[in-house]
Every structure is written in C-alpha cells, then in structure tokens.
Amino acid sequence: MTSQCKFPGSVILGTMVLPPGDFQLVQIMDAALAKAAQKAGPWLVCRPGCTQCCHGVFAINALDTLRLRAGMEILRETQPALAAQLEQRAHAWIEEHSVDFPGDVKTGHLNGSETDRDDFEEFANEAACPALDPVSGRCDVYAWRPMTCRVFGPPIRMYEGEALGCCELNFVGANDDEIAACEMPVPHEMEARLLAKCEEIGETVVAYALLPAALD
C-alpha cells in the first residue's frame, strides 16, 4: 500500500510518496548542520560512536515516518541483510516496550490525549534506538534519519522564540555569546507546511517506521 500525501508533485521512492519539499528540507538541514559545525569547531564533540542521543524514545512525525520507510525500502533492495537486522531490532524493541506503549501497539500510532502524552514523557527513556548499530555505534538509517536527530547537538531553538539549547556534551566552557554565534537555524515553518499535507499519518516512533507497512 502506498502512503499518500494530499498534494501534487510528490516524490515517489518505492511505494513511499514524499512531499516534493522534503528533499529540499533535508538539504537545508544538512547545510545548516555543516555550517554550525564549522563555526563551533572543537566545541562540537559529536562523533560517530557517541550514542547518548540515540537512547530514549521520541515521537516522529509524518515526514520522518515516510522518509524512514523509503530508506528501508531502498535497504531491502540494496542491503537485504542489513534491512533484516533493522527489522529484527525493531521487532525486539516493540516486544520489550509494548506493555507500556501509550498508543496502538499494532499500528504504532501514538495516542494524542493529555494523559497519554504525559505517559510518553516517561516511556522507554533509556532504550537504545533500534536503528543504532550496537557494535559500531553508528545509525544504520543515517541518510533518512528523523528531523530530531538532524538537529541534535548544535545550539537550536526547538520552537520559534524559545531559548537556545544544545547537547550537554557540547560547548563545555563556552559563554552564551559564543554559543549563540553557532546557532543552527531550523526551518520550522517549512516543515509545518509540508506536514499539513500529510495529516492522515499520525505520530509514531522509529521502531514502527522501520517495519514494512506498519502504519497502513
């Protein structure tokens, strides 16, 4: 079954239909990260194998889900053994955490009630992401990773007008002005416009997005 977004000009990868602006969004974020890293220099200590940010579950939106599922389709064609490992880790993750999952365990859809959102804040906070290779410490779906992963590390504002925040391992010894000079801009409005066209796909978590047709 093809996942649909409600507007013309979509980009089709396998059976995944992504908004045409998602590719541009990813390019903008990759360029912003590279520029922020250049400005930060040694203050930004993010390196392959540093996996603190790969532990603890977080919600992913429709764009993240479509991007991950497209990536998994590519891996099933080009690297079937790796895709199988990812699916195995995803199934194991779901089995381990299904009892407390604040949503539909079968589809992976997160519930939107205030109580469920509160429960999600305390859910699987120490769990490793199933996309994380436990041996190398690298992300096996790095090219298709969610937006949360793309912005973690440099100083960013999660929402417009919010104070700057960054990974606690970075910018040790830097003052507020030095941190602000390395801010990574996030195109929140662009992402919101794209998401508005994909309202039929609810929030989920990475484990479900790694499985075929998990959200259909």
Is the model more confident about 7 or about 187?
187
Over range 109-119, report the average pLDDT: 88
Residue 137 has pLDDT above 70, yes or no: yes
Instruction: Report domain extents, the chain.
Output: 11-209
pTM score: 0.87
Residue 18 pLDDT exceeds 90: no
Contacts of 43 (CB under 8 A, 6+ apart): 170, 171, 172, 173, 174, 178, 182
pLDDT reading at 1 higher than 50: no
Q: What would the pLDDT profile of 92-106 be if each residue is shown by its tens digit? A: 999 999 999 999 999
For the cut 50, the answer to whether the pLDDT of residue 77 exceeds it is yes
